Every structure is written in structure tokens, then in C-alpha cells.
Amino acid sequence: MTPVTVRVPAKVNLQLSVGPRRDDGYHDLMTVFHSVSLFDEVTVRPADRASVRVTGQDASQVPTGRTNLAARAARALAAAVKRRQSGVQIEIRKRIPIAAGLAGGSADAAATLVACNELWQAGLTQAELSEIAAGLGSDVPFALLGGTAIGQGRGERLTAALAAGTYHWVLAFATGGLSTPDVYAACDRLRDAAPVAPPELSTGLMAALRSGDPAAVGLQLSNDLQPAAVSLRPDLRRALAAGEESGALGAIVSGSGPTCAFLAADARQAGELAVALTGAGVCRGVVRVQGPVPGAAVVAGEPG
């Protein structure tokens, strides 16, 4: 069997509206996911024993045992297709930082599902893979789909969004990460038991996305987790302010943070923003990306 390599993007949330805490501990969401051109690559090879190897960005902090989300994805797929031997060597080349609010771990799990489906010639459809993905984590189905999509439920129920144009972003990476459960818990604490309305889709954002006008989209970005992320990492305030002062059309914490995402008018302004943010010393590094891009897809190892 030829090794299979899958490339998978990071995401930002253009809208992240968080409803009340549910009995199962999760929160009902209304979110707009947007995949961006920062990619991890996952290669799977047949092996007698399951193993995970991680190289690249933050590699030393990624667990490589059975708890690794990519390893769990391989086992979940093997169980779903009743494959007795799930032994597979998983190699993850990371460019997406971990615990950054960019769904890097979810991306690796989605890539592993697509790669093993191909390696084992299991023939599961996108819908079947998406169901397994939802059992692995709230953001995993979107990493399969990519593009710009509305997420409901825990974030796993997806509908493609009508979005025109290409958007130019600068992502500012923070030193250290944030734990997603900690950020949701901080969000609950900040709300202090005040009643929370069910989250609703932003019609303003939808109209802006249909128009393809980055200035309109910039004005509509929203993230209910941002106050919680900033309460845990007050330094993010400086990064957001630096981006705004440098002319970003929108400045927002990505997902549960601590990465900040800045929307630019075009590629040239994204370059200027990247320089300004680096010069301001408010982050450990910046990267320029575009969105939307497609979800997890095989890049090498196709039959023949």
C-alpha cells in the first residue's frame, strides 16, 4: 500500500456566538467557520503497530500516544469500517500552532480520516466521514469540509455559506496557548449566571460575505469568547489594538484564542500589517494567509 498524504487547513471564526452551557457541558453555538491557507500535512503508512510522529511547529508539545486525536481518528475509522487491524503509522508535519484557537488538532484528525479512508480503500463518503469526525471533536467536521460554513449545535452541524471573494488575513501567534475548556469556563464566569439568549446567525455578516467586500466583513466580525480569552491573556488587548491602529479592517481573537486574526483589504495591506505587528512586538510571530480554502484533501499517494 502506497503512503497517503493529506493537506488540511487551519480555521478562524468570523462569527462565534455562544449560547448557554448545556447539561452535557458543551455550549450551543452559531458560528461561521472560515478555512485559511495555513496547512498541516498528515502522511499515513501501513504498519504492524500504530504510531504517531510529529514534526514542525510546537511538535514537542503534541502527545504521541493513544490519546493523540489523529490516532483516535484512525481507530474510529477502523471501527466504523470493521477493520480488525488498525495499525498505521501517522506522521504529522505541523505548521498550525497548538492550543491556538486555529483548530490544529481537529485539522490533523480530519486529515487522518481522509488519509486512512484512502489508504484502506474504505470508500466512506464525505457525509460518513463527517459523522465520525463529529464524535472526535466539535471542529473536526469543518476541517473536512473547509471553505466558509455555518456551524450549529456544538459546531459540528454544518451548512456551506454563500461567500464571495478571497480574504487576506494576518494571523498573530501568541507565546503559549489557551485551553478551550478553560476559555468556555471563563466565558460562563464572566456572564455570571445572567440569562443568555440562544445564539443567532448574524444577517449583517451573511450580507457582507455575499458582497465580497472585506471592509464590510471586517465590521461584522464577532466572537463571544473574546472577552474570556482576553481575561485569561490580557496581553491580547495590545495585539488587537496594534492591528487596529495599523489599519486592519477587523481585529479579532480566533476561536478560543490566543491567536489574533486581522483582516486586510488586499495582499499588499496584509504585508504592511504583518510588518507593523512584528515591529510592535506584540506576538511571537505572524503569518499571512488567505481564505477560504478547501478542507482536508489528498495531495500524494493516489493510486497509480
Q: How many CA atoms lie within 13 A of 191 on its CB side?
A: 18
CA gap 203, 222 in Å, rounded: 12
Q: Any contact of residue 135 with ligand C5P (CB under 6 A)? A: no
Take residue 17 and report the three cell numbers written for it: 456566538
The residue assigned the cell 493537506 is 7
Minimum CB–partner distance for residue 127 and ligand C5P (Å)? 19
- Residue of 180, 220, 223, 246 that binds ligand C5P (CB under 6 A): 180
- Residue of 9, 101, 104, 137 that binds ligand C5P (CB under 6 A): 137
Among the listed ranges 21-29, 92-100, 119-127, 276-284, the one in contact with ligand C5P (CB under 6 A) is 21-29
DSSP string, 191-223: HTT---PPP---HHHHHHHHHT-HHHHHHH-EE
Tell me the CA distances in angstroms from 56 to 30, 51, 74, 227, 239, one per residue in order: 33, 17, 21, 31, 25
Which of 224, 205, 270 has the alpha carbon at shortest distance from 243?
A: 270
**Which of 137, 295 has the CB closer to ligand C5P?**
137
Q: Any contact of residue 178 with ligand C5P (CB under 6 A)? A: no
Among the listed ranges 2-10, 120-128, 131-139, 260-268, the one in contact with ligand C5P (CB under 6 A) is 131-139
Q: Any contact of residue 139 with ligand C5P (CB under 6 A)? A: yes
Query: Which positions from 258 through 287 interact with ligand C5P, judged by CB under 6 A?
Result: none
Minimum CB–partner distance for residue 211 and ligand C5P (Å)? 29
**Which of 139, 224 has the CB closer to ligand C5P?**
139
267-280 and 236-245 helices, crossing angle to 10°: 140
**Which of 8, 283 has the CB closer to ligand C5P?**
8
Alpha-helical runs (H) found in the chain? 69-80, 104-119, 126-136, 140-145, 180-191, 203-211, 214-220, 226-232, 236-245, 267-280
Q: CB neighbours of 126 closer than 8 A, spacing ≥ 6?
A: 144, 145
Q: Which of 40, 94, 108, 139 is catalytic?
A: 139
- CA 130 from centre of chain: 15
**Which of 28, 58 has the CB closer to ligand C5P?**
28
Give catalytic status of residue 82 as yes or no: no
Take residue 124 and report the three cell numbers written for it: 466512506
Q: Any contact of residue 27 with ligand C5P (CB under 6 A)? A: yes
**Which of 50, 133 has the CB closer to ligand C5P?**
133
Minimum CB–partner distance for residue 39 and ligand C5P (Å)? 20
**Which of 101, 146 has the CB closer to ligand C5P?**
101
- Residue of 181, 212, 247, 279 that binds ligand C5P (CB under 6 A): 181
Q: Any contact of residue 246 with ligand C5P (CB under 6 A)? A: no
Number of residues that this document lists for the chain: 304
Q: Any contact of residue 184 with ligand C5P (CB under 6 A)? A: yes
Give catalytic status of residue 58 as yes or no: no
CA gap 60, 215 in Å, rounded: 39
Among the listed ranges 22-30, 37-45, 261-269, 290-298, the one in contact with ligand C5P (CB under 6 A) is 22-30
Q: Which residues are catalytic?
A: 11, 139
* Contact positions vs ligand C5P (CB under 6 A): 25-27, 29, 137-139, 154-155, 180-181, 184
